[in-house]
Amino acid sequence: MQIRPGGAELYSDYLSVTEQTEIVEAIRTCTQRAPLYTPTMPRTGKSMSVRMTNFGKLGWMSDQKGYRYQAEHPTTGESWPTIPDAILNIWRDLLPDQPEPDACLINYYSETARMSLHQDRDEQDFSVPVLSISLGDTALFRLGGTKRGGKTQSFKLRSGDVMLLKGEDRLAYHGIDRIYPGTSSLLKQGGRINITLRKAL
């Protein structure tokens, strides 16, 4: 479970298939109101390869203006759906002493999508961990240190795995190098969903 002394924790197979299916169903319901959209990069305006949406009071956004949290969906202008209990309960189980998350980012990866190395640092209080849930196809995750260009380690994230970035590793660089298509039958259309729960404010 502990990956390394820095504080990252990996709970392999944390969710049963039944629990995973329940979460996918909840996401399907919520994305009817808050559809997946293609975010763009600050400055360049280039499209990211993942598609995103959010649940909770605040949604993490990236567009030409930069990274931020905002209360409305960028294309519908509506507030984000509330975070489904099936997702929130994982935070309550693993982080009972932490304040409840106000932001739930949903990333959808097609077979060819990737996520370049980044830090999660748009939140106010870095002492609150970030919780990440993997669903669908296996991904190759890369975890580095708190400085760009340092040593990194790679491991696979499989459907039902839950990871915490906490302690010193809360600000570790991380990214997704690739997806392994066809490694899970959870999502009918294939691909991978990553859910990150955070306390933004």
Give the three-class secondary structure for 56: coil
- The residues, any chain, with a CB within 8 Å of residue 89's CB and separated by 6 or more, are none
Residue 132: contacted member of ligand MD6, Fe ion, none (CB under 5 to 8 Å, by partner type): ligand MD6
Residue 195, interface with ligand MD6 (CB under 6 A)? Answer: no
How is residue 167 annotated by DSSP? G
Residue 197, interface with ligand MD6 (CB under 6 A)? Answer: no
As measured in angstroms, the least distance from the Cβ of 133 to ligand MD6 is 9
Query: What's CA 196's distance to the chain center, in Å?
Result: 3
Residue 165, interface with ligand MD6 (CB under 6 A)? Answer: yes
The kind and range of the H/E element at 51 are strand 51-55
Q: Which stretch binds Fe ion (CB under 5 A): 75-83, 98-106, 113-121, 179-187?
A: 113-121
Give the three-class secondary structure for 22: helix
Choice between 115 and 128, CB closer to ligand MD6: 115
DSSP H helix total and E strand total for the chain: 2, 12
How is residue 44 annotated by DSSP? T
Residue with tokens 């491991």, as numbered in its chain: 155
- Candidates 120, 137, 161, 169; binder of Fe ion (CB under 5 A) is 120
Residue 184: contacted member of Fe ion, ligand MD6, none (CB under 5 to 8 Å, by partner type): none
- Which residues contact Fe ion by CB under 5 A? 120
Residues making contact with ligand MD6 (CB under 6 A): 107, 115, 120, 130, 132, 141, 163, 165, 174, 176, 194, 196
